Structure 1
Amino acid sequence: MCQLLGMNCNVPTDIVFSFEGFRQRGGLTDHHSDGWGIAFFEGDGCRMFLDHQPSALSPLADLVHKYPIKSRNVVAHIRKATQGEVSLANTHPFKRELWGRYWLFAHNGNLTDLPPMASSRFQPVGTTDSEYAFCWLMDQLGLRYPSKPPLDELHATMAALAAELAKHGTFNFLLSDGTALFARCATDLHYIIRQAPFAMAHLSDADVSVDFARYTQPSDHVAVIATQPLTDNENWIRIAQGELLRFEDGVVHRLTNVAPAEPVRIHAA
Protein backbone atom coordinates (compact mmCIF):
# COMPACT_ATOMS: atom_id res chain seq x y z
CA MET A 1 0.00 0.00 0.00
CA CYS A 2 0.93 3.69 0.02
CA GLN A 3 3.03 5.69 2.49
CA LEU A 4 1.90 8.78 4.37
CA LEU A 5 3.90 11.66 5.87
CA GLY A 6 2.55 14.63 7.80
CA MET A 7 3.95 17.42 9.94
CA ASN A 8 2.22 19.78 12.37
CA CYS A 9 4.15 22.46 14.31
CA ASN A 10 3.68 25.51 16.49
CA VAL A 11 6.19 27.47 14.38
CA PRO A 12 6.97 27.30 10.64
CA THR A 13 9.42 24.43 10.17
CA ASP A 14 11.02 22.77 7.16
CA ILE A 15 10.52 19.06 6.48
CA VAL A 16 13.75 18.52 4.53
CA PHE A 17 15.18 15.89 6.91
CA SER A 18 12.03 13.77 7.11
CA PHE A 19 11.35 14.10 3.38
CA GLU A 20 14.86 12.88 2.52
CA GLY A 21 14.12 9.56 4.23
CA PHE A 22 10.51 9.39 3.10
CA ARG A 23 11.23 9.88 -0.60
CA GLN A 24 13.61 6.89 -0.64
CA ARG A 25 10.60 4.64 -0.06
CA GLY A 26 9.27 5.62 -3.47
CA GLY A 27 11.21 3.10 -5.54
CA LEU A 28 14.50 2.70 -3.65
CA THR A 29 14.07 1.26 -0.14
CA ASP A 30 10.46 0.25 -0.84
CA HIS A 31 8.27 -0.44 -3.86
CA HIS A 32 5.87 2.53 -3.75
CA SER A 33 6.77 3.84 -7.20
CA ASP A 34 3.46 5.04 -8.69
CA GLY A 35 3.82 8.74 -7.99
CA TRP A 36 4.20 11.08 -5.06
CA GLY A 37 3.12 14.47 -3.80
CA ILE A 38 3.70 16.96 -1.02
CA ALA A 39 1.79 20.10 -0.03
CA PHE A 40 2.69 22.92 2.34
CA PHE A 41 0.31 25.39 3.94
CA GLU A 42 1.64 28.92 3.91
CA GLY A 43 -0.81 31.29 5.58
CA ASP A 44 -4.13 30.87 3.78
CA GLY A 45 -2.35 29.54 0.70
CA CYS A 46 -1.08 26.12 -0.21
CA ARG A 47 2.02 25.17 -2.21
CA MET A 48 1.76 21.76 -3.92
CA PHE A 49 4.23 19.54 -5.77
CA LEU A 50 2.91 16.45 -7.57
CA ASP A 51 4.67 13.95 -9.83
CA HIS A 52 3.60 10.58 -11.24
CA GLN A 53 7.25 9.42 -11.31
CA PRO A 54 8.82 7.49 -8.37
CA SER A 55 9.88 9.93 -5.64
CA ALA A 56 13.35 8.35 -5.27
CA LEU A 57 14.10 9.21 -8.91
CA SER A 58 12.05 12.37 -9.41
CA PRO A 59 13.85 15.63 -10.32
CA LEU A 60 10.91 17.45 -8.68
CA ALA A 61 11.63 15.60 -5.43
CA ASP A 62 15.24 16.79 -5.73
CA LEU A 63 13.92 20.34 -5.94
CA VAL A 64 11.71 19.92 -2.85
CA HIS A 65 14.61 18.42 -0.90
CA LYS A 66 16.82 21.40 -1.73
CA TYR A 67 14.06 23.96 -1.10
CA PRO A 68 13.59 24.39 2.69
CA ILE A 69 9.97 25.55 2.64
CA LYS A 70 8.79 26.34 6.15
CA SER A 71 5.24 25.46 7.11
CA ARG A 72 3.18 24.61 10.17
CA ASN A 73 1.21 21.88 8.36
CA VAL A 74 2.48 19.53 5.65
CA VAL A 75 0.86 16.50 3.98
CA ALA A 76 2.86 14.13 1.75
CA HIS A 77 2.15 10.81 0.04
CA ILE A 78 3.96 8.09 -1.91
CA ARG A 79 1.63 6.00 -4.05
CA LYS A 80 1.34 2.28 -4.66
CA ALA A 81 -1.61 2.14 -7.06
CA THR A 82 -4.59 -0.07 -6.18
CA GLN A 83 -7.35 1.75 -8.09
CA GLY A 84 -6.84 4.15 -10.98
CA GLU A 85 -3.99 4.43 -13.45
CA VAL A 86 -0.63 6.00 -12.70
CA SER A 87 -1.26 9.63 -13.63
CA LEU A 88 -1.01 13.16 -12.27
CA ALA A 89 -4.78 13.30 -11.68
CA ASN A 90 -4.55 10.26 -9.41
CA THR A 91 -1.60 11.56 -7.38
CA HIS A 92 -2.09 12.50 -3.72
CA PRO A 93 -2.50 14.74 -1.81
CA PHE A 94 -5.81 16.04 -3.12
CA LYS A 95 -7.05 19.55 -2.44
CA ARG A 96 -10.55 21.04 -2.05
CA GLU A 97 -12.05 24.23 -0.58
CA LEU A 98 -14.55 24.11 2.31
CA TRP A 99 -15.66 26.98 4.59
CA GLY A 100 -13.24 29.34 2.83
CA ARG A 101 -10.19 27.18 3.55
CA TYR A 102 -8.16 24.71 1.54
CA TRP A 103 -8.20 21.10 2.73
CA LEU A 104 -5.53 18.53 1.89
CA PHE A 105 -6.07 14.77 1.98
CA ALA A 106 -3.87 11.71 1.48
CA HIS A 107 -4.98 8.08 1.87
CA ASN A 108 -3.30 4.74 2.39
CA GLY A 109 -5.52 1.71 1.78
CA ASN A 110 -8.19 0.38 -0.54
CA LEU A 111 -11.93 1.12 -0.44
CA THR A 112 -14.73 -0.50 -2.45
CA ASP A 113 -18.49 0.06 -2.93
CA LEU A 114 -18.32 3.56 -1.48
CA PRO A 115 -21.57 5.39 -0.62
CA PRO A 116 -23.05 7.81 -3.17
CA MET A 117 -22.55 11.56 -2.92
CA ALA A 118 -25.40 13.40 -1.23
CA SER A 119 -24.82 16.51 -3.38
CA SER A 120 -22.82 17.50 -6.44
CA ARG A 121 -20.56 20.11 -4.80
CA PHE A 122 -17.49 17.86 -4.50
CA GLN A 123 -16.58 15.52 -7.33
CA PRO A 124 -13.39 13.55 -8.04
CA VAL A 125 -11.22 14.52 -11.00
CA GLY A 126 -9.27 11.26 -11.14
CA THR A 127 -10.36 7.65 -10.79
CA THR A 128 -9.11 6.64 -7.33
CA ASP A 129 -11.15 5.44 -4.39
CA SER A 130 -9.06 7.86 -2.30
CA GLU A 131 -10.19 11.03 -4.04
CA TYR A 132 -13.79 9.82 -4.05
CA ALA A 133 -13.63 9.18 -0.28
CA PHE A 134 -12.18 12.65 0.25
CA CYS A 135 -14.97 14.25 -1.78
CA TRP A 136 -17.55 12.24 0.19
CA LEU A 137 -16.05 13.46 3.48
CA MET A 138 -16.07 17.08 2.33
CA ASP A 139 -19.61 16.68 1.01
CA GLN A 140 -20.87 15.32 4.32
CA LEU A 141 -19.11 18.00 6.38
CA GLY A 142 -20.47 20.76 4.14
CA LEU A 143 -24.01 19.44 4.53
CA ARG A 144 -23.73 19.26 8.31
CA TYR A 145 -22.10 22.64 8.93
CA PRO A 146 -22.63 25.96 7.11
CA SER A 147 -19.35 27.19 8.62
CA LYS A 148 -16.42 25.56 10.36
CA PRO A 149 -17.47 24.20 13.78
CA PRO A 150 -15.31 24.10 16.94
CA LEU A 151 -12.45 21.66 16.50
CA ASP A 152 -13.66 19.26 19.20
CA GLU A 153 -17.01 18.90 17.44
CA LEU A 154 -15.37 18.64 14.04
CA HIS A 155 -13.07 15.94 15.40
CA ALA A 156 -16.04 13.89 16.65
CA THR A 157 -17.95 14.23 13.38
CA MET A 158 -14.86 13.41 11.34
CA ALA A 159 -14.32 10.25 13.39
CA ALA A 160 -17.92 9.13 12.82
CA LEU A 161 -17.69 9.75 9.07
CA ALA A 162 -14.33 8.01 8.86
CA ALA A 163 -15.79 4.99 10.64
CA GLU A 164 -18.51 4.82 7.98
CA LEU A 165 -15.94 4.84 5.19
CA ALA A 166 -13.78 2.30 7.02
CA LYS A 167 -16.62 -0.23 6.62
CA HIS A 168 -15.67 -0.29 2.94
CA GLY A 169 -12.00 -1.23 3.35
CA THR A 170 -8.68 0.03 4.70
CA PHE A 171 -8.73 3.70 5.62
CA ASN A 172 -5.51 5.26 6.90
CA PHE A 173 -5.44 8.97 6.08
CA LEU A 174 -4.08 12.45 6.77
CA LEU A 175 -6.32 15.52 6.46
CA SER A 176 -5.53 19.16 7.17
CA ASP A 177 -6.92 22.65 6.63
CA GLY A 178 -3.73 24.38 7.73
CA THR A 179 -4.83 24.90 11.34
CA ALA A 180 -4.99 21.27 12.49
CA LEU A 181 -3.89 17.95 11.06
CA PHE A 182 -6.08 14.84 11.47
CA ALA A 183 -4.47 11.40 11.30
CA ARG A 184 -6.46 8.15 11.21
CA CYS A 185 -4.94 4.71 11.60
CA ALA A 186 -6.50 1.55 10.20
CA THR A 187 -3.38 -0.62 9.91
CA ASP A 188 -0.12 1.34 10.32
CA LEU A 189 0.46 4.95 11.31
CA HIS A 190 3.04 6.32 13.77
CA TYR A 191 3.95 9.70 15.22
CA ILE A 192 6.64 11.44 17.20
CA ILE A 193 6.59 14.84 18.88
CA ARG A 194 9.96 16.54 18.97
CA GLN A 195 10.34 19.08 21.75
CA ALA A 196 12.99 20.28 24.21
CA PRO A 197 15.44 18.84 25.01
CA PHE A 198 16.08 18.22 21.31
CA ALA A 199 18.52 15.50 20.29
CA MET A 200 20.20 13.80 17.33
CA ALA A 201 18.05 11.81 14.87
CA HIS A 202 19.17 9.31 12.21
CA LEU A 203 17.10 8.26 9.19
CA SER A 204 16.17 4.62 8.63
CA ASP A 205 16.19 4.88 4.83
CA ALA A 206 19.36 6.94 4.34
CA ASP A 207 22.58 7.45 6.26
CA VAL A 208 21.66 10.98 7.28
CA SER A 209 21.61 12.48 10.77
CA VAL A 210 20.65 15.86 12.17
CA ASP A 211 21.09 17.47 15.56
CA PHE A 212 17.77 19.23 16.09
CA ALA A 213 19.20 21.18 19.04
CA ARG A 214 21.15 23.29 16.53
CA TYR A 215 18.05 24.38 14.60
CA THR A 216 15.28 24.74 17.20
CA GLN A 217 14.13 26.89 20.09
CA PRO A 218 13.16 25.49 23.51
CA SER A 219 9.50 26.38 22.88
CA ASP A 220 9.25 24.51 19.56
CA HIS A 221 6.88 21.55 19.19
CA VAL A 222 7.07 19.50 15.98
CA ALA A 223 4.81 16.51 15.39
CA VAL A 224 5.75 14.17 12.54
CA ILE A 225 3.35 11.44 11.40
CA ALA A 226 4.39 8.59 9.09
CA THR A 227 3.13 5.19 8.00
CA GLN A 228 6.35 3.65 9.34
CA PRO A 229 8.91 5.39 11.60
CA LEU A 230 11.40 7.45 9.62
CA THR A 231 14.25 7.27 12.14
CA ASP A 232 15.92 4.34 13.87
CA ASN A 233 17.05 6.02 17.11
CA GLU A 234 13.84 7.69 18.31
CA ASN A 235 10.75 6.38 20.09
CA TRP A 236 7.82 6.60 17.69
CA ILE A 237 4.28 5.98 18.95
CA ARG A 238 1.97 3.70 17.01
CA ILE A 239 -1.58 5.05 16.65
CA ALA A 240 -4.25 2.57 17.73
CA GLN A 241 -6.26 0.89 14.99
CA GLY A 242 -9.44 2.84 14.30
CA GLU A 243 -8.23 5.93 16.19
CA LEU A 244 -8.41 9.45 14.75
CA LEU A 245 -5.93 11.88 16.31
CA ARG A 246 -5.84 15.66 15.93
CA PHE A 247 -2.59 17.59 15.98
CA GLU A 248 -2.53 21.31 16.77
CA ASP A 249 0.61 23.38 17.31
CA GLY A 250 2.65 20.20 17.57
CA VAL A 251 0.45 18.76 20.34
CA VAL A 252 -1.70 15.62 20.01
CA HIS A 253 -5.42 15.68 20.94
CA ARG A 254 -7.56 12.60 21.36
CA LEU A 255 -11.29 12.42 20.81
CA THR A 256 -13.44 13.92 23.57
CA ASN A 257 -17.05 13.03 24.38
CA VAL A 258 -18.47 15.67 22.04
CA ALA A 259 -21.30 14.20 19.95
CA PRO A 260 -20.98 14.31 16.15
CA ALA A 261 -23.45 16.33 14.13
CA GLU A 262 -26.55 14.53 12.88
CA PRO A 263 -26.76 13.79 9.16
CA VAL A 264 -28.52 16.34 7.01
CA ARG A 265 -31.59 14.91 5.27
CA ILE A 266 -31.74 15.60 1.55
CA HIS A 267 -35.23 15.83 0.07
CA ALA A 268 -35.81 15.40 -3.63
CA ALA A 269 -37.37 18.38 -5.39
Structure 2
Amino acid sequence: MCQLLGMNCNVPTDIVFSFTGFAMRGGRTDTHHDGWGIAFFEGAGVRHFVDHQPAVHSPVATLIKTYPIKSRNVIAHIRKATQGEVALENCHPFMRELWGRYWVFAHNGDLKDFHPALDGPFRPVGNTDSEQAFCWLLQELRRRFGDVRPALPDLAAALAELVPQIAAHGTFNMMLSDGSALFAHCSTNLYWLVRQHPFDTAILSDEDMRVDFSQVTTPNDRVAIIVTQPLTTNERWTACATGEMLCFVDGLPQKNIFSTAVPSEMSK
Protein backbone atom coordinates (compact mmCIF):
# COMPACT_ATOMS: atom_id res chain seq x y z
CA MET A 1 0.00 0.00 0.00
CA CYS A 2 0.93 3.67 -0.14
CA GLN A 3 2.53 5.70 2.63
CA LEU A 4 1.59 9.06 4.14
CA LEU A 5 3.58 11.90 5.67
CA GLY A 6 2.14 14.98 7.34
CA MET A 7 3.54 17.95 9.23
CA ASN A 8 1.71 20.48 11.40
CA CYS A 9 3.60 23.31 13.14
CA ASN A 10 3.08 26.46 15.15
CA VAL A 11 5.56 28.37 12.94
CA PRO A 12 6.48 27.91 9.26
CA THR A 13 8.96 25.03 9.09
CA ASP A 14 10.64 23.11 6.29
CA ILE A 15 10.15 19.35 5.89
CA VAL A 16 13.47 18.62 4.13
CA PHE A 17 14.74 16.19 6.80
CA SER A 18 11.57 14.10 7.05
CA PHE A 19 10.88 14.15 3.31
CA THR A 20 14.45 13.02 2.53
CA GLY A 21 13.89 9.80 4.46
CA PHE A 22 10.30 9.42 3.28
CA ALA A 23 11.25 9.74 -0.40
CA MET A 24 13.70 6.84 -0.08
CA ARG A 25 10.68 4.58 0.43
CA GLY A 26 9.50 5.56 -3.02
CA GLY A 27 11.57 2.92 -4.81
CA ARG A 28 14.76 2.36 -2.79
CA THR A 29 14.08 1.17 0.77
CA ASP A 30 10.49 0.17 -0.07
CA THR A 31 8.34 -0.56 -3.13
CA HIS A 32 6.17 2.57 -3.34
CA HIS A 33 7.28 3.48 -6.86
CA ASP A 34 4.02 4.41 -8.61
CA GLY A 35 4.23 8.17 -8.14
CA TRP A 36 4.35 10.66 -5.31
CA GLY A 37 3.25 14.12 -4.32
CA ILE A 38 3.45 16.84 -1.69
CA ALA A 39 1.48 19.98 -0.84
CA PHE A 40 2.63 22.96 1.25
CA PHE A 41 0.15 25.48 2.61
CA GLU A 42 1.40 29.06 2.46
CA GLY A 43 -1.12 31.67 3.57
CA ALA A 44 -4.18 31.26 1.34
CA GLY A 45 -2.15 29.41 -1.29
CA VAL A 46 -0.77 25.92 -1.75
CA ARG A 47 2.43 24.77 -3.46
CA HIS A 48 1.35 21.45 -4.98
CA PHE A 49 3.84 19.04 -6.59
CA VAL A 50 3.01 15.61 -8.04
CA ASP A 51 4.97 13.25 -10.27
CA HIS A 52 4.14 9.80 -11.65
CA GLN A 53 7.83 8.83 -11.47
CA PRO A 54 9.22 7.07 -8.37
CA ALA A 55 10.26 9.57 -5.72
CA VAL A 56 13.86 8.26 -5.68
CA HIS A 57 14.25 9.10 -9.38
CA SER A 58 12.09 12.20 -9.64
CA PRO A 59 13.86 15.53 -10.31
CA VAL A 60 10.89 17.21 -8.62
CA ALA A 61 11.55 15.21 -5.44
CA THR A 62 15.18 16.30 -5.62
CA LEU A 63 13.96 19.90 -5.67
CA ILE A 64 11.88 19.33 -2.53
CA LYS A 65 14.86 17.74 -0.73
CA THR A 66 17.09 20.71 -1.54
CA TYR A 67 14.64 23.64 -1.38
CA PRO A 68 13.55 24.38 2.23
CA ILE A 69 9.96 25.48 1.59
CA LYS A 70 8.46 26.56 4.92
CA SER A 71 4.88 25.80 5.85
CA ARG A 72 2.70 25.18 8.89
CA ASN A 73 0.83 22.31 7.23
CA VAL A 74 2.25 19.78 4.76
CA ILE A 75 0.83 16.54 3.35
CA ALA A 76 2.96 14.12 1.28
CA HIS A 77 2.29 10.71 -0.27
CA ILE A 78 4.22 7.94 -2.03
CA ARG A 79 2.08 5.60 -4.09
CA LYS A 80 1.86 1.87 -4.57
CA ALA A 81 -1.09 1.54 -6.92
CA THR A 82 -4.05 -0.66 -5.99
CA GLN A 83 -6.74 1.12 -8.02
CA GLY A 84 -6.08 3.33 -11.03
CA GLU A 85 -3.13 3.18 -13.40
CA VAL A 86 0.20 4.89 -12.84
CA ALA A 87 -0.60 8.37 -14.13
CA LEU A 88 -0.23 11.97 -13.02
CA GLU A 89 -3.96 12.39 -12.38
CA ASN A 90 -3.87 9.51 -9.90
CA CYS A 91 -1.03 10.91 -7.79
CA HIS A 92 -1.82 12.13 -4.30
CA PRO A 93 -2.29 14.48 -2.60
CA PHE A 94 -5.45 15.74 -4.28
CA MET A 95 -6.60 19.34 -3.96
CA ARG A 96 -9.99 21.07 -4.21
CA GLU A 97 -11.56 24.36 -3.10
CA LEU A 98 -14.29 24.53 -0.45
CA TRP A 99 -15.50 27.59 1.52
CA GLY A 100 -12.89 29.76 -0.19
CA ARG A 101 -10.01 27.60 1.03
CA TYR A 102 -7.91 24.91 -0.58
CA TRP A 103 -8.31 21.43 0.87
CA VAL A 104 -5.63 18.78 0.46
CA PHE A 105 -6.16 15.02 0.93
CA ALA A 106 -4.08 11.84 0.70
CA HIS A 107 -5.05 8.22 1.34
CA ASN A 108 -3.26 4.97 2.07
CA GLY A 109 -5.35 1.82 1.66
CA ASP A 110 -7.79 0.03 -0.58
CA LEU A 111 -11.58 0.53 -0.59
CA LYS A 112 -13.81 -2.26 -1.86
CA ASP A 113 -17.28 -1.71 -3.38
CA PHE A 114 -17.00 2.01 -2.72
CA HIS A 115 -19.09 3.83 -5.33
CA PRO A 116 -20.51 6.96 -3.67
CA ALA A 117 -23.13 9.06 -5.41
CA LEU A 118 -21.40 12.27 -6.42
CA ASP A 119 -24.00 14.85 -7.41
CA GLY A 120 -22.24 18.12 -6.61
CA PRO A 121 -19.27 20.10 -7.94
CA PHE A 122 -16.64 17.69 -6.57
CA ARG A 123 -15.82 15.06 -9.20
CA PRO A 124 -12.77 12.79 -9.63
CA VAL A 125 -10.34 13.56 -12.43
CA GLY A 126 -8.50 10.25 -12.14
CA ASN A 127 -9.85 6.77 -11.40
CA THR A 128 -8.73 6.01 -7.85
CA ASP A 129 -10.90 5.09 -4.89
CA SER A 130 -8.95 7.73 -2.95
CA GLU A 131 -10.08 10.66 -5.08
CA GLN A 132 -13.66 9.40 -4.95
CA ALA A 133 -13.47 9.36 -1.16
CA PHE A 134 -12.08 12.90 -1.08
CA CYS A 135 -14.80 14.22 -3.37
CA TRP A 136 -17.49 12.51 -1.32
CA LEU A 137 -16.13 13.93 1.94
CA LEU A 138 -16.16 17.49 0.59
CA GLN A 139 -19.60 16.98 -0.92
CA GLU A 140 -21.02 15.82 2.41
CA LEU A 141 -19.34 18.62 4.35
CA ARG A 142 -20.82 21.19 1.99
CA ARG A 143 -24.21 19.47 2.24
CA ARG A 144 -24.12 19.78 6.04
CA PHE A 145 -22.74 23.28 6.42
CA GLY A 146 -23.72 25.06 3.21
CA ASP A 147 -21.51 27.94 2.12
CA VAL A 148 -20.11 28.81 5.56
CA ARG A 149 -17.08 27.08 7.01
CA PRO A 150 -17.98 25.62 10.42
CA ALA A 151 -15.99 26.08 13.60
CA LEU A 152 -13.31 23.49 14.18
CA PRO A 153 -15.30 21.44 16.76
CA ASP A 154 -18.27 21.22 14.37
CA LEU A 155 -15.99 20.20 11.51
CA ALA A 156 -14.42 17.54 13.72
CA ALA A 157 -17.86 16.21 14.66
CA ALA A 158 -18.85 15.92 11.01
CA LEU A 159 -15.64 14.14 10.05
CA ALA A 160 -16.05 11.76 12.98
CA GLU A 161 -19.38 10.70 11.45
CA LEU A 162 -18.34 10.64 7.79
CA VAL A 163 -14.90 9.01 7.89
CA PRO A 164 -16.07 5.70 9.43
CA GLN A 165 -18.59 5.37 6.59
CA ILE A 166 -15.69 5.28 4.15
CA ALA A 167 -13.48 3.13 6.39
CA ALA A 168 -16.23 0.50 6.47
CA HIS A 169 -15.26 -0.32 2.85
CA GLY A 170 -11.65 -1.24 3.62
CA THR A 171 -8.38 0.34 4.70
CA PHE A 172 -8.65 4.10 5.09
CA ASN A 173 -5.55 5.75 6.51
CA MET A 174 -5.87 9.35 5.41
CA MET A 175 -4.76 12.94 5.95
CA LEU A 176 -6.84 16.05 5.28
CA SER A 177 -6.12 19.75 5.76
CA ASP A 178 -7.38 23.19 4.80
CA GLY A 179 -4.27 24.87 6.17
CA SER A 180 -5.73 25.66 9.59
CA ALA A 181 -5.56 22.13 11.05
CA LEU A 182 -4.41 18.69 9.94
CA PHE A 183 -6.82 15.77 10.35
CA ALA A 184 -5.73 12.14 10.17
CA HIS A 185 -7.50 8.79 10.44
CA CYS A 186 -5.86 5.44 11.16
CA SER A 187 -7.16 2.11 9.88
CA THR A 188 -3.95 0.11 10.15
CA ASN A 189 -0.68 2.01 10.55
CA LEU A 190 -0.10 5.62 11.55
CA TYR A 191 2.46 7.10 13.96
CA TRP A 192 3.11 10.58 15.26
CA LEU A 193 5.48 12.60 17.42
CA VAL A 194 5.90 16.20 18.51
CA ARG A 195 9.32 17.86 18.40
CA GLN A 196 9.63 20.76 20.82
CA HIS A 197 12.07 22.32 23.28
CA PRO A 198 14.45 20.91 24.41
CA PHE A 199 15.26 19.71 20.90
CA ASP A 200 17.67 16.84 20.24
CA THR A 201 19.34 15.08 17.31
CA ALA A 202 17.18 12.87 15.09
CA ILE A 203 18.55 10.05 12.91
CA LEU A 204 16.75 8.87 9.77
CA SER A 205 16.07 5.17 9.32
CA ASP A 206 16.00 5.21 5.49
CA GLU A 207 18.98 7.47 4.76
CA ASP A 208 22.34 8.25 6.35
CA MET A 209 21.29 11.63 7.71
CA ARG A 210 20.90 13.24 11.10
CA VAL A 211 19.94 16.72 12.27
CA ASP A 212 20.51 18.42 15.59
CA PHE A 213 17.25 20.36 15.79
CA SER A 214 18.53 22.44 18.70
CA GLN A 215 20.78 24.19 16.16
CA VAL A 216 18.04 25.07 13.68
CA THR A 217 15.06 25.92 15.91
CA THR A 218 14.00 28.36 18.61
CA PRO A 219 12.68 27.35 22.05
CA ASN A 220 9.18 28.37 20.92
CA ASP A 221 9.04 26.08 17.87
CA ARG A 222 6.80 23.02 17.88
CA VAL A 223 6.47 20.50 15.06
CA ALA A 224 4.19 17.46 14.79
CA ILE A 225 5.12 14.74 12.30
CA ILE A 226 2.57 12.09 11.30
CA VAL A 227 3.67 9.16 9.13
CA THR A 228 2.72 5.62 8.10
CA GLN A 229 5.90 4.13 9.58
CA PRO A 230 8.41 5.90 11.88
CA LEU A 231 11.06 7.86 10.01
CA THR A 232 13.75 7.92 12.70
CA THR A 233 15.53 5.32 14.79
CA ASN A 234 16.10 7.27 18.01
CA GLU A 235 12.81 9.06 18.69
CA ARG A 236 9.72 7.88 20.52
CA TRP A 237 6.79 7.57 18.12
CA THR A 238 3.19 7.14 19.25
CA ALA A 239 1.20 4.47 17.41
CA CYS A 240 -2.40 5.33 16.56
CA ALA A 241 -5.17 2.90 17.40
CA THR A 242 -7.36 1.32 14.73
CA GLY A 243 -10.22 3.68 13.98
CA GLU A 244 -8.56 6.62 15.75
CA MET A 245 -9.14 10.15 14.46
CA LEU A 246 -6.57 12.85 15.14
CA CYS A 247 -6.51 16.61 14.71
CA PHE A 248 -3.33 18.66 14.96
CA VAL A 249 -3.24 22.43 15.44
CA ASP A 250 -0.09 24.48 16.03
CA GLY A 251 1.99 21.33 16.36
CA LEU A 252 -0.13 19.66 19.02
CA PRO A 253 -2.77 16.90 18.91
CA GLN A 254 -6.19 18.20 19.95
CA LYS A 255 -6.93 15.14 22.04
CA ASN A 256 -10.44 16.03 23.18
CA ILE A 257 -11.84 17.68 20.08
CA PHE A 258 -13.67 14.61 18.79
CA SER A 259 -15.16 13.65 22.15
CA THR A 260 -16.23 17.20 22.98
CA ALA A 261 -17.33 18.34 19.51
CA VAL A 262 -21.00 19.26 19.28
CA PRO A 263 -22.64 19.12 15.84
CA SER A 264 -24.01 22.41 14.56
CA GLU A 265 -27.72 22.90 13.96
CA MET A 266 -27.21 22.22 10.26
CA SER A 267 -25.63 18.82 10.90
CA LYS A 268 -28.24 17.55 13.38
TM-score, normalised to structure 2, is 0.96
Q: 3-state DSSP class of the match of 1:123?
A: coil
Deviation of the 1:261 alpha carbon: 5.6
Name the residue aligned to 2:89: 89
What is the rounded CA distance, in whole Å, between the counterparts of 2:203 and 2:118 in structure 1? 47
- CA deviations on 1:97-150 (whole Å, 9 max, x unpaired) are 011000000000001222533522110000000000000000000000021111
Tell me which amino acid in the other structure corresponds to 1:92.
H
1:96-111 to structure 2, matched below 5 A, reads: 96-111=96-111
Deviation of the 1:257 alpha carbon: 2.9
Q: How many percent of aligned residue pairs carry the same amino acid?
A: 61
Is there any run of 5+ residues in structure 1 with no aligned partner, and where? none
- Cα pair 2:96 2:104 within 8 Å, conserved: yes
Tell me which amino acid in the other structure corresponds to 2:133.
A
Tell me which amino acid in the other structure corresponds to 1:212.
F
- Cα pair 1:118 1:140 within 8 Å, conserved: no
Q: Give the aligned CA root-mean-square deviation in angstroms.
A: 1.4
TM-score, normalised to structure 1, is 0.96
Question: CA, structure 1 residues 82+196, in 2 after alignment: closer, same or farther (shift >3 Å)?
Answer: same
Q: 3-state DSSP class of the match of 2:85?
A: coil
Deviation of the 1:259 alpha carbon: 3.8
Deviation of the 1:260 alpha carbon: 3.9
Is there any run of 5+ residues in structure 2 with no aligned partner, and where? none
Deviation of the 1:258 alpha carbon: 2.4
What is the rounded CA distance, in whole Å, between the counterparts of 2:6 and 2:198 in structure 1? 22
Q: 3-state DSSP class of the match of 1:33?
A: coil
What is the rounded CA distance, in whole Å, between the counterparts of 1:105 and 1:9 in structure 2? 18
Name the residue aligned to 1:235: 236
Name the residue aligned to 1:166: 167
Q: Is it true that 1:176 corresponds to 2:185 in the alignment?
A: no
1:116-195 to structure 2, matched below 5 A, reads: 116-117=116-117, 119-146=119-146, 147-195=148-196
Question: CA, structure 1 residues 149+49, in 2 after alignment: closer, same or farther (shift >3 Å)?
Answer: same
Question: CA, structure 1 residues 264+159, in 2 after alignment: closer, same or farther (shift >3 Å)?
Answer: closer
Q: Is it true that 1:50 corresponds to 2:50 in the alignment?
A: yes
Name the residue aligned to 2:209: 208
What is the rounded CA distance, in whole Å, between the counterparts of 1:177 and 1:137 in structure 2? 13
Deviation of the 1:46 alpha carbon: 0.3
